[in-house]
Amino acid sequence: MRRFTGGININRPEQQTKNTLKQQFNIHGLMSKNEKIIAGILIGAAAGVAAVLFFQTEKGKQLLADIKDMASDTMEDAIQRFGKVEQKFKEQLAINETEEDV
């Protein structure tokens, strides 16, 4: 980025460093679009295989059980909270209807 100051163009040193780093680590120019898609598919497949292998171990099975327990607890908590909100709403609705009758 160039800056105009009093008729003299001055390049800021930090901007020159940024441009140099961008040129050195230009990832966009290294792979074509198709290569990026294939690389993404391969990485995704490898991650999937690793996950399956992990969840087949005892540690993985225990982790899945813990996740299921946590999800169940969270669902129960959400249902209880919804019930409380519903009850308060009905109470407020009853109060408002009583005030309108008066």
Sketch the domain layout of the chain as residue ranges.
2-101
Report the pLDDT averaged over residues 42-60. Answer: 93
pTM, entire model: 0.45
Quote the pLDDT of residue 69.
96
CB atoms within 10 A of CB 68: 10
**Two tokens, residue 91:** 């109470």
**For the segment 18-50, what is each residue's pLDDT rounded down to a tens digit?**
666 566 555 556 778 888 899 999 999 999 999
Q: How far is CA 10 from CA 1, 5, 16, 60, in A?
A: 9, 7, 11, 59
* Contact yes or no for 35/43 (Cβ under 8 A): no
Q: What is the pLDDT confidence band of residue 15, given thresholds at 50, 70 and 90?
A: low
